[in-house]
Structure 1
Amino acid sequence: MSVHTAAILWQNEPHESEENTYSRNHCVMLNGGQEVRVSASVEFKGDPNCADPEQLLVSAVSSCHMLFFLAIAELQGYQVESYKDDPKGYLERNDKKSMGMTRIELSPNITFGGEKIPGQEAISRIHATAHSKCFIVNSITAKVTVN
């Protein structure tokens, strides 16, 4: 078991473009001193220059999947040179008739090096194992697919 923490700081300020409401901007502080500027998504009066919680969820799923993929590939003797993903999350009405992240699509592009290069079947198996092991995927209800 492990415990993971973050700190959130929001201060009441006027909204940048709508005078009758508040700013959604806030700061998320992470270990190591990282500060991430976060706001609501633009569709919900957020700042387009900030990350939004939905993006952070989608990137967390992608990052977790990638880290498991890299670990499994290394254990199987494959050398990954680069891993790029352009994940997409879909905020839609869910079964409870409320809005939720219903599905997340990962689209990894992986480059291998070294002498042992996996075939498509081996890559698919690594993805399947990474998907089943990913802590974040195992924590959410959204359907996660790997294209």
Structure 2
Amino acid sequence: MAKEHEYTCRIGWTGNRGDGTRTYRGYDRTWDVVTPGKPTIHCSNDPLLGGDPTLPNPEDLLLASLSSCHMLWYLHLASTAKIVVHRYTDDPLGVGEVHADGLGTDIRQAEAIHHEVHRYCFIARSVNSPVTYAPTFEIAVG
């Protein structure tokens, strides 16, 4: 039997300008993500859909979740494989579509671990769209 992990948060809409959703353009697409004991995340819709470009949107949060989960599993699997990682950065790219309707490190193994992570990261396994990885490596000398 699988061990369950429970998570909770509260999503609270903050975009009522006084008239609620009386008109389509009469409210803001903003909300807060409140997780007990953690900082509040102020969010908005994608700017192309009327959102605030200075706030994270659902697509940003999904991309960050996928990338973060991948990173954590990569570090775990690298540690288990005795691959020493001193730094990790990722610049993930999410594409939305709108329709009319180390020295001595085995680089091949290090890259293979990136592709193995997808088996473990429950966030990546939970989405129906393809999740692909194209890692690059920087070997520190000395």
**Normalised TM-score (structure 1):** 0.77
Partner of 2:7: 4
Alpha-carbon deviation of 1:80? 1.2
Partner of 1:121: 108
Contact kept? 1:68, 1:133, Cα under 8 Å:
yes
What do residues 11-52 of structure 1 show as CA deviations (whole Å, max 9, x unaligned)? 3126xxxx9421111111124321111000100100011000
**Counterpart amino acid of residue 128 in structure 1:** H
Structure 2: runs of 5 or more not aligned: 19-23, 135-142
Partner of 1:109: none
Contact kept? 2:77, 2:113, Cα under 8 Å:
yes
What do residues 108-127 of structure 1 show as CA deviations (whole Å, max 9, x unaligned)? xxxx5xxx742221112211
Structure 1: runs of 5 or more not aligned: 99-111
Match of 1:84, SS state, is: coil
Contact kept? 1:65, 1:130, Cα under 8 Å:
yes
Of Structure 1 and Structure 2, the greater strand share is in: 1
Contact kept? 1:78, 1:117, Cα under 8 Å:
no
Moved more, 50-59 or 78-87: 78-87
Equivalenced residue count is 125
CA distance in 2: counterparts of 1:20 and 1:134, whole angstroms = 38
Alpha-carbon deviation of 1:128? 1.7
Structure with more contact order per residue of length (Cα contacts < 8 Å, sep ≥ 6): 1
**Normalised TM-score (structure 2):** 0.79
Alpha-carbon deviation of 1:76? 1.1
Contact kept? 2:83, 2:110, Cα under 8 Å:
no
Contact kept? 1:39, 1:47, Cα under 8 Å:
yes
Indicate the RMSD between aligned Cα atoms, in angstroms. 2.1
CA distance in 2: counterparts of 1:118 and 1:4, whole angstroms = 37
Partner of 2:28: 23
CA distance in 1: counterparts of 2:104 and 2:47, whole angstroms = 42
**Counterpart amino acid of residue 3 in structure 1:** E
CA distance in 1: counterparts of 2:5 and 2:47, whole angstroms = 34
